């Protein structure tokens, strides 16, 4: 979603703001702007379009001397992309400038009240309400001004605020939207995400919900929601800027695909000790508590939801506990049947996904135990969960997830094995066998990455498709969901995934000469059934790309092209199936000259509902 950067220090702010915003482009945006502070005056520069437009407008900021400023890249939620709707927003008399990530849910009511009191609005955004409220509550005490303003806000927000009357400070406040304070030798930053500050510092302070921070030269003060000063320890990023750069690859997406073996190893290694015992460092569930669980719900959005579908098949089979998987945005509205005997597994790469965070709160309100699987340390979902497991995938910059999804699968495997062993539904010998197979996955993925040239050639053949269908059964169907999403979100080809047995219940009417169908057939219990479905689509003229394991070579007779995958334990097939289809989607999008890392209308961290 929207990107926020702020700076106060010894250096000119504008170049630092622009550079910081460039590190947040992966979040998705349609306009950009900066505001700079000097005594008695705030100067705003903003424009619709790519960040380069703003960069050119201010000549890179090199001739702008101000050392205090805030910047923003906007992903439209209220009002079309335009210069007027771009951030930062000024209050009526220009006393305050605001940048905002999130949604003010009661903005219409607030706007109406302000207009009735003579306030004229320049934009269609919800954010401008914040700027006008700051001016309404203006006092000599800036902390009180901010406190009184946010008391009126309902919704999610991360705010960076400048005051023309106090130009040597930046205020920041957050609720249900990420915001950090960066601590550098030459000054302080605020930012939506760590890559914005990495060129300058690895040291940062994460802000918690409701906290307000004031940045002055040489001083950072943080207050909690009650107005009490809180001591915030400075944390340190364990990865450097090179981890957030392309490292010689054409796109972040292909870099992150290639990083998956190492990402899986980083997820697995700390969780299996020298005695081959599963050590889930973030889980505090006792054996007694596990035995009281009657239902498991997996809740997530997008790719994380698709990982959850794999988790359903796997955990249900291993533990014999009923598992349901929910799209987070639907979870709250179906009056879910969960209680103190339920375990809710929340999955989110960013840990800030708004719908997922809302579902987490709903689950906790109903008495459920919440276990989260996230990648970002200190994120809102991690902070509000009873138990948290970090995937340790490292920074993922491309909007289309690859390694985060793969590490989520890995963590779900470990959760399933762990619960099953604790409940006695798996013997110790069975667990050891599964862990042995799990530890082989990174090397197997390295071998699959060697298929890239073959997949690139196939992608060039099918780059200008209009439609594609992915079919599979059981775990193969779960992977088909994610593979279809990968293709459509970066190449803009219409693509659908279906449980193969559902084809004859309507979808097969769409199959005609030349229709492209990807068939996944790695689950040994269902390969023969999937073969029948392949024959059905071939009989109607489809061109079939088959993914199967080496022991099922007979299936290739019904396919136009076949990708053979290494044999793995049947419960782990999802991990080897998805990688070639990530590569295929990437190379199709490359051939179509799409903006692969920043697909249109999408954002990496979806912090609005």
Residue-wise pLDDT for 541-573, tens only, equals 999 999 999 888 888 898 999 999 999 999 999
Distances (CA, A) of 203 to 10, 45, 152: 18, 29, 33
pLDDT tens column, 429-486: 999 999 999 999 999 999 999 999 999 999 999 999 999 999 999 999 999 999 999 9
Tens of pLDDT, residues 579-602: 999 999 999 999 999 999 989 888
Q: How confident is the model at residue 609 (pLDDT cuts 50, 70, 90)?
A: low
Query: 453 burial class (0-12, 13-18, 19+ CB within 10 angstroms)?
Result: exposed
Is the torsion defined by CA of 451, 460, 487, 484 positive or negative?
Answer: negative
d(Cα 284, Cα 51) in Å, to the nearest integer? 45
- We find that the CATH architecture of domain 252-448 is 3-Layer(aba) Sandwich (3.40)
In sign, the C-alpha dihedral spanning 267, 350, 287, 323 is negative
Q: Is 553 helix (H, G, I), strand (E, B) or coil?
A: helix
238 has a pLDDT exceeding 90: no
- Could you tell me the pLDDT band of residue 244, with boundaries at 50, 70 and 90? low
Query: Which superfamily does 3-244 belong to?
Result: Aminohydrolase, N-terminal nucleophile (Ntn) domain (3.60.20.10)
Give CA–CA dist 287/425, Å, rounded: 13
Whether 252-448 and 452-591 share one fold: the answer is yes
DSSP secondary structure string, 83-109? TTTSSPEE-TTSSEEEEEEEEETTHHH
Confidence of residue 269 (pLDDT cuts 50, 70, 90): confident
* Angle at the Cα of 258 from the Cα atoms of 406 and 266, rounded to 5 degrees: 55
Element of type H or E holding 132 = helix 127-136
Q: Rounded distance, CA 264 to CA 283, Å? A: 19
| Closest-CA residue to 391 (of 400, 399, 401) | 401
Q: How far apart are CA 391 and CA 350, in angstroms?
A: 11
Q: What is the mean pLDDT of the segment spanning 21-47?
A: 90
Both tokens of residue 238?
A: 């364990």
Is residue 318 within 8 Å of residue 426, measured between CB atoms? yes
In the numeric block, which tokens belong to residue 385? 């969960």
Q: What is the mean pLDDT of the chain?
A: 93
What secondary structure does DSSP assign to 203-251, as a single string? EEEEPPTT-EEEEETTEEEEE-TTS-B---PPEE-SS-GGGGS-TT-SS
The shares of helix, strand and coil residues in the chain, as percent rounded to the nearest 5, are: 40, 25, 35
Q: Which of 2, 301, 522, 594 is flagged as catalytic?
A: 2
403 is catalytic: no
CA 420 to chain centre: 29
Distances (CA, A) of 353 to 28, 51, 159, 393: 14, 24, 17, 17
* φ and ψ of 322, to 5 deg: -60, 130
Name the pTM for this structure: 0.75
Higher-confidence position of 445 and 209: 445
Domain ranges of the chain: 3-244, 252-448, 452-591
pLDDT band for position 1 (cuts 50, 70, 90): low
Q: What is the pLDDT of residues 361-407, one digit of tens each?
A: 999 999 999 999 998 777 889 889 999 999 988 778 899 999 999 99
Q: Please say if the pLDDT value at position 605 is more than 70.
A: no
522 a catalytic residue? no
Q: Among residues 125, 90, 122, which one has the least CA distance to residue 104? A: 125
The architecture that CATH gives domain 452-591 is 3-Layer(aba) Sandwich (3.40)
Q: Which of 23, 111, 136, 604 is catalytic?
A: 604
User: 230: Cβ–Cβ under 8 A, 6 or more apart, which residues?
Assistant: 211, 222, 223, 224
């Amino acid at each position: 979603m929207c990107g926020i950067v702020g700076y106060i220090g010894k250096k000119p702010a504008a170049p630092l703001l622009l550079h910081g915003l460039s590190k947040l482009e992966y979040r998705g945006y349609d306009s950009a702007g900066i505001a700079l502070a000097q005594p008695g005056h705030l100067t705003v520069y903003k424009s619709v379009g790519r960040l380069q437009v703003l960069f050119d407008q201010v000549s890179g900021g090199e001739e702008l001397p101000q050392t205090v400023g805030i910047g923003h890249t906007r992903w439209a939620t209220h009002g079309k992309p335009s210069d007027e709707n771009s951030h930062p927003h000024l209050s009526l008399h220009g006393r305050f400038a605001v940048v905002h990530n999130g949604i003010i849910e009661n903005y219409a009511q607030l706007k109406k009240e302000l207009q009735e009191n003579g306030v004229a609005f320049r934009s269609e955004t919800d954010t401008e309400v914040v700027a006008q409220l700051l001016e309404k509550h203006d006092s000599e005490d800036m902390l009180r001004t901010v406190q009184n303003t946010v008391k009126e806000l309902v919704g999610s927000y991360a705010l960076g605020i400048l005051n023309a009357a106090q130009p040597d400070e930046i205020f920041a406040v957050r609720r249900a939207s990420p915001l950090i304070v960066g601590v550098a030798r030459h000054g302080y930053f605020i930012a939506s995400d760590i890559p914005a500050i990495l060129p300058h510092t690895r040291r940062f302070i994460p802000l918690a919900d409701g906290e307000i921070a004031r940045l002055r030269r040489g001083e950072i003060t943080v207050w909690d929601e009650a107005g009490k000063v809180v001591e915030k320890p400075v944390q340190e990023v364990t990865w450097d800027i090179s981890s957030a750069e392309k490292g010689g690859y054409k796109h972040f997406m292909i870099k992150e695909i290639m990083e998956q073996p190492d990402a899986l190893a980083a997820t697995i290694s700390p969780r299996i000790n020298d005695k081959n015992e599963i050590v889930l460092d973030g889980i505090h569930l006792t054996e007694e508590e596990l035995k009281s669980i009657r239902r498991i719900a997996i809740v997530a959005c997008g790719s994380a939801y698709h990982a959850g579908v794999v988790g359903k098949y796997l955990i249900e089979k291993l533990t014999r506990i009923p598992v349901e998987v929910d799209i987070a945005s639907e979870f709250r509205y179906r009056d879910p049947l969960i209680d103190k005997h339920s375990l809710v597994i929340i999955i989110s790469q960013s840990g800030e996904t708004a719908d997922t965070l809302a579902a987490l709160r709903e689950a906790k309100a109903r008495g459920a135990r919440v276990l989260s699987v996230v990648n970002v340390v200190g994120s809102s979902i991690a902070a509000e969960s009873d138990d948290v497991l970090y995937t340790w995938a490292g920074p993922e910059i491309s909007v289309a997830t690859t390694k985060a999804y793969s590490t989520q699968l890995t963590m779900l495997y470990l959760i399933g094995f762990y619960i099953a062993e604790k409940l006695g539904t798996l013997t110790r010998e069975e667990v050891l066998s599964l862990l042995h197979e799990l530890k082989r996955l990174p090397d197997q993925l390295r071998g699959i990455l060697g298929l890239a040239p073959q997949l690139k050639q196939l992608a060039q053949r099918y780059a200008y498709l209009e439609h594609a269908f992915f079919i599979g059964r059981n775990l193969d169907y779960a992977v088909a969901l994610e593979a279809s999403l990968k293709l459509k979100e970066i190449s803009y080809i219409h693509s659908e995934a279906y449980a193969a047995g559902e084809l004859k219940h309507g979808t097969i009417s769409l199959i005609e000469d030349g229709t492209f169908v990807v068939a996944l057939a790695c689950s040994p219990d269902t390969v023969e059934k999937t073969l029948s479905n392949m024959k059905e689509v071939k009989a109607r003229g489809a061109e079939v790309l088959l993914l199967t394991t080496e022991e099922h070579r007979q299936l290739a007779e019904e396919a136009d092209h076949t990708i053979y995958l290494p044999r793995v334990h049947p419960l782990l097939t999802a991990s080897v199936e998805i990688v070639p289809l990530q590569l295929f989607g990437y190379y199709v999008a490359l051939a179509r000259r799409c903006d692969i890392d920043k697909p249109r209308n999408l954002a990496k961290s979806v912090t609005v509902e």
